[in-house]
Structure formats: C-alpha cells, structure tokens
Structure 1
Amino acid sequence: MTPMSLAIQIAKDRADRSDFADYDIPDIQTAYAVQDALTALEGPVGGYKIAWNRPELLSGFGVEAPAGARVLKRSILPDGAVLSAQDHSTLMLEPEIAAVLAEDIPIVAQDADSVARHVGYLVPAFEVLDRRRAASRDGLNIIAQGVFNAGLVLGTPSGDQIGATHVRIGDTVHCDSANAAPEPPMDALAYLANLYAARGVQLRQGDVILCGAHTPLLPVAAGDDARMAIAGLGEVTLRVE
C-alpha cells in the first residue's frame, strides 16, 4: 500500500472510531509519510505535539527518538471546554505546557534559544487523546496514525514563570510536583521544529505546540472535571459530559 492509500484507510478508521489497527509500516520514513498524507486528508493543522520525550519510553515503543504529530486546527478548544465522552472511544488526557507561536519559525537548524524568540507565551494545556481501545505498542503505526491525538484544550495564561504543577480530576490529585515536565519546553519545541523542517514543514505563527506530558495518561469519563495549574504560568480546565 502507498502512504496515501494507508492514510485513507486510517482516516476512515478514525472517523468511524474503529479499534486501533496495526498496518504494514516498515520504517520511520514511511510512518511520517503516512502521517503527512493523513494530514493532507484531515487538515488544516493548528499545532503539533511531542511524544515519548522521556528516555524510558522510547524502548517500549521500538523507536530511537521522540515522536511528533499534528494537532488539527478544528480540535483546538478554549479553556473551560466541554468534551463529549460519546465522541471518543477511549478518551484520555495528558496535562502539558503549550507554547503558542508569535512568529513563524524559519526552516533552519534550531535550538532552545533560537526557537524561544518566536514564542508568544507558554500556558498549561490538556492534550485530548482517543486511543481507540489500542493494545498496540508499535511505534511506527502510532506515529503514522497521529500518536492518538484528538485535540487539545488551551488554558489561560497568568504569567511567565514555570512553578509547581498541580493536576486534579474530580477529587483525585494526579500531580502535585515542583518539577513535573519531561524536559524544558523550548527543548521540545526545537526538536519538533527540526523534525518537521526536515520534512519541509514550517511551524507557523499561531501554532500551538504541546511540549510533553507531566503525568502518565489520565482516563476520563462523563461527569469528570479536570484542572491543571502551574504556579506562575496559568491554568486550564475542562469538563467531560
């Protein structure tokens, strides 16, 4: 199958909320080619995410470097958004720091210092994921299919400092830590800028960049309220109905 024919099947799977299926994807280049084709079918893009940017996660998914995936513009929701549990097969959240770009990032080699000049602000965000009852640990298929992304909820900024992270769903506290981020946000942003620049893709003004999860995946269900607060930076809330 060609990358586009695989992408057409994956797009149908995602639209139908069918169980996640592994396809014949032989290498990392093919995985990203399928993701490119899937984006062409489902776009436009409003942001990007990094995945597996903790070293201990890489071997578990059979990959050598963190993954990237697109976030569709229509799936980027404001603070206080209401998610429908019925619109997802296996709804989960990841609390993260998001970088919102004030300028396009040039397609040249980037590092943390150079990408920082193009960031408007940082803010807490919840990544929304639909794992579609996945049992797969095949990193190539997960990359090709968008690393489970189903959108994000963008928080409200209140400052420019990164302090302690507090994450709560209902009455359960999932994180209360002074240092919960998997890596500095600008390092994650530089990695994604370079990853997609190698594919001829430029990160653009207004894009929202998810910089890595502060906790393991958090399942949510109808009736749940979720809140993430980062001291000195802001907070994000959502409700599931």
Structure 2
Amino acid sequence: MDNAELDRLGDELYDAWQTRQMLAPLTARMPDLTIDHAYRIQQRMVARRIGQGERVIGKKIGVTSKAVQQMLGVYQPDFGSLLSGMHYEDGSAIPMDTLIQPRAEGEIVFYLKQDLCGPGITAEQVLAATESVSACFEIVDSRVKDWKIKIQDTVADNASCGVFVIGKERIDPRTLDLAMCGMVIEKNGEIIATGAGAAALGHPANAVAWLANELGARGVALKAGEPILSGSLAPLIPVQAGDSLRVRIGGIGGCAVTFE
C-alpha cells in the first residue's frame, strides 16, 4: 500500500469528520491494512486539520482498560493527537451537531514538567517528570459506522478522538496513589459508572510510559506542559442532547460537561 493510497484514506477520514458522516470500516475494505499503515493515515488526517488552522496541543492514550477493550473488541492500546479545536472548558455545553456518535470517558490527565522520550521510559520516570494531574472527560467519537472497529480502524481515525474537558484542579501526583484513586461518573444526577486509576494498564503512569516509548520509537517526545490523557477508567458512556455528566476522582478533583 503506497503513500498516495494512505493519504487518500486520511483525506476520507478528514472529510468524514468535517461533514459528520460515518464510513465503513477501513479494515473491511482493506484487510491487509497494518497498524503502521494506520498511523500513517492518522498523520494525514491530523495534518489536514492543522492545515485548517488547528494545532497539536497534547496526546491521548486509548483502549487501556479491560472494560473498554471488551466493549470495542480491541485488545491493545493506541494513541492520537489532541488538537486545539477539541478542547472545551470545564462546565461547557458541547453542541451535538459537532459530533457523530459520541461516548464519554472519565480519565486522569498528566502534565509534565519536562519532556519525555523513549525508549526505556518507566512509570517511575513518568511520575518524577509529572508536574500535576487533573480529572478529565474525553468524549470519544468514531467516524467508523456503529463503532465497528478493529485496532487499525481506530488508530487511523486518530484514536477515535472527539473532544475533551479538563477539570480546573491540578494535583501533585506524588501526594496520592494514582492506582487507588476511585472515580465516580454521574449522568443526569445518577451514578452511572465507577472505576479506579488501576484500570489504565494497572496504573495511569504505566499508560504514559507506554506512550512515551511508542512515540520515542517514532522520534517524537512527550512535551512539558501539554495534557496527556491516560485512558478511560470505566466503560464508555453513550451521550445525547440534554445529557449532563460529572466526574470526580478521589484526591484529584472533577469536571462537568453538558450536551445540547
């Protein structure tokens, strides 16, 4: 599969994002699509958005918890880029007509005080390099019809990035055990999901270390000051217009979002 074909697929995903249309899975049409091909497609999709004035402001790790893996039938992590147009302030109302088939994830966000670049990065090094952590909602959104994805589909689709909301509180991660931090998500005032930091590859710092090493193999560093979303701590939560969500993570804080 040559670069021209991979670029065409990236353009197809970009157009689907821009027009809010769903596509048939890439893997159903191209069974020889590899994960390396998929990351090349992702680069093209992201580049198209940058070409329209957005900029990369962080990174996300996806498919880190067993609950999400089982829901999606995808059994290994992936990563994508966070773009400036994806960020909403805590308490924002997100227009549903900007999304296709959104689902919410409660996560822990890392902010580094120094760059990290693999290979060989450990969870201990991640914690030493982390300035603060916050609570977050990532609203994932697939351009692939009915979320019928394999790992190559979600990788190509920028790890199914939609939008994200980060809480205002920033906490030193060395003051608590991130693996043991409990999470509660409320939807329209009722508890709908619970989880803990350990859901993200055993410890959210493990997820960030995995990302630093994966990106390092591609010559890319995690940058100080950029948000790094470390992965969902509970199953994905479908949302629709009128829904209101709130997440709280023990010792870290919370954030809220509504959909209109």
TM-score higher than 0.5: yes
2:7 matched to which residue of 1?
4
* More off after superposition, 165-174 vs 125-134: 125-134
Instruction: Say which SS state the counterpart of residue 117 (structure 2) adopts.
Output: coil
Which of 138, 141, 151 is the aligned partner of 1:139? 151
Give aligned-pair identity as a percent: 25
Q: Are 1:94 and 2:97 counterparts?
A: no
Which of 47, 53, 77 is the aligned partner of 1:40? 47
1:157 matched to which residue of 2?
169
1:81 matched to which residue of 2?
92
Q: Which has the higher strand share?
A: 1
Against the structure 1 CA distance between its residues 58 and 47, is the aligned structure 2 distance closer, same or farther, given a 3 Å change threshold? farther
Using the TM superposition, give the Cα deviation of residue 96 of structure 1 relative to its aligned residue in structure 2, in angstroms: 0.7
The one-letter code of the counterpart of 1:136 is: K
Using the TM superposition, give the Cα deviation of residue 203 of structure 1 relative to its aligned residue in structure 2, in angstroms: 1.4
User: C-alpha separation between the residues in 2 aligned to 1:84 and 1:59?
Assistant: 25
Using the TM superposition, give the Cα deviation of residue 138 of structure 1 relative to its aligned residue in structure 2, in angstroms: 2.0
Against the structure 1 CA distance between its residues 142 and 212, is the aligned structure 2 distance closer, same or farther, given a 3 Å change threshold? same
User: Can you give the 5+ residue segments of structure 2 that lack an aligned partner in the other structure?
Assistant: none
CA displacement, residues 97-118 of structure 1 (integer Å, 9 cap, x when unaligned): 1112222223442111112232
User: C-alpha separation between the residues in 2 aligned to 1:76 and 1:197?
Assistant: 25
User: C-alpha separation between the residues in 2 aligned to 1:60 and 1:131?
Assistant: 11
1:28 matched to which residue of 2?
35
Against the structure 1 CA distance between its residues 202 and 12, is the aligned structure 2 distance closer, same or farther, given a 3 Å change threshold? same
Q: Which has the higher helix share?
A: 2
CA displacement, residues 31-74 of structure 1 (integer Å, 9 cap, x when unaligned): 111112222222321222222223572796465x3111112122
2:185 matched to which residue of 1?
167
User: Can you give the 5+ residue segments of structure 1 that lack an aligned partner in the other structure?
Assistant: none
Number of corresponding residues: 240
Instruction: Say which SS state the counterpart of residue 147 (structure 1) adopts.
Output: helix
Against the structure 1 CA distance between its residues 84 and 61, is the aligned structure 2 distance closer, same or farther, given a 3 Å change threshold? same
RMSD between aligned residues? 2.3
Q: How do 1:173-212 and structure 2 match up within 5 A?
A: 173-177=191-195, 181-182=199-200, 183-212=202-231
* More off after superposition, 183-192 vs 110-119: 110-119
Q: If the length of structure 2 is used for normalisation, what is the TM-score?
A: 0.83
Runs of 4+ with >6 A deviation: none
User: C-alpha separation between the residues in 2 aligned to 1:15 and 1:219?
Assistant: 21
